[in-house]
């Protein structure tokens, strides 16, 4: 079959996904897509769950966004007083 978003899985398959990753909170499970095998069960192989396309697009948008900067955000670096030159005596 193919990868199916957690939200689109049937309730028994959602329970199966939860049993595979019991320590993950529900909001994390909802971010992933799981591989559904031809027999109708989820694959337990490593790598057979991946970030859903919509979640990946959100992350890409965050990475492309301009960083929030203020006028004096580097001021504390400009006032540092140190040198790698040997000290004068």
Domain boundaries, the chain: 3-65
Which of 52, 71, 68, 72 minimizes the C-alpha distance to 60?
Answer: 52
The pLDDT value given to residue 18: 92
The pLDDT score that the predictor gives to residue 33 is 92
**What's the pLDDT tens digit per position in 17-74?**
999 889 989 888 899 999 999 998 999 888 888 888 888 898 888 888 776 666 666 6
Q: Are residues 47 and 34 in contact, defined by beta-carbon separation less than 8 angstroms?
A: no
Tokens (6 digits) for 10: 């049937």
CB–CB of 14/6 below 8 Å? yes
- Give residue 12's pLDDT: 92
Q: In angstroms, what is the C-alpha Rg of the chain?
A: 24
């Amino acid at each position: 079959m193919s990868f199916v978003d957690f939200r689109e899985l049937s309730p028994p398959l959602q329970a199966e996904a939860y049993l595979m990753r019991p320590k993950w909170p529900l909001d994390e499970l909802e971010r992933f897509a799981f591989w559904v095998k031809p027999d109708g069960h989820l694959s337990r192989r490593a790598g057979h769950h991946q970030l859903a396309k919509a979640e990946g697009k959100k992350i890409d948008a965050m990475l492309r966004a301009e960083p929030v900067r203020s006028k004096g955000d580097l001021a504390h670096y400009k006032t540092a007083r140190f040198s790698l030159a040997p000290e004068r005596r």
